[in-house]
Amino acid sequence: MIIYFIRHGQTDYNLKSLIQGNNDIPLNETGLKQAEETRDLLLSKGITYERIYCSPLDRALTTCEIVSGKKRDSFIIDKRLEEINVGDLAHTSMLVDDPYTIDFIKHPDRFVPHPGAESYQDMIDRVGSFLDDLKREQPAEKILVACHRGPIQSVVMNLDKSIPLKEFRRITIPNASCLEVELKDGVYKVTNLYKNDNNILQDESLFF
């Protein structure tokens, strides 16, 4: 089995460094273009999909429609693929000096969510549950999974248990990039990262 985990294209919140979490923020014009570029990139490599999973949030659904060429009513919607629930941090700036925000952005291992929000480990665990369920699908399938940066980072954390939680945010997944993961003999392995020319990986990236 090969799974293609695609992060949604850019939103205005991404552009303005605002925290969106699992709130339903749409793609902006750049995000729509990024999704089209990723579609063209994957088509040029002959990549097709026999099953499609998607986060219920519109930015992932729209990205998935563009990349797959299919309508969202054909997707398997799974809430475990949503971005992290940030609670009262939603719609606030990532750039403030508030200690709670600083822990959320810079210290995933120290971040203690307010009631109603999730910890990073909560998200890693629910994505791990999704990965466990995928192992029961047909082994020869190619699967598209459209979601968000946090869940794809969580995929990597589930695959490589040696990465400490404090390094979570150094796993760099640009907007509209695609993480290719192979499942063979019950073991997942990252095999590629497809990205647009405009989506440059940060120099301090831990994983790629």
The residues that are catalytic are 8, 83
Residue 63, CB-side half-sphere exposure with 13 Å CA sphere: 34
- CA gap 166, 47 in Å, rounded: 34
Helix axis angle, 58-68 relative to 29-44, nearest 10°?
40
> Which runs of consecutive H residues, i.e. helices, occur in 45-98?
58-68
User: Residue 150 is inside which H or E element, if any?
Assistant: helix 149-159
7: helix, coil or strand? strand
Q: Other C-beta atoms within 10 Å of 59: how many?
A: 29
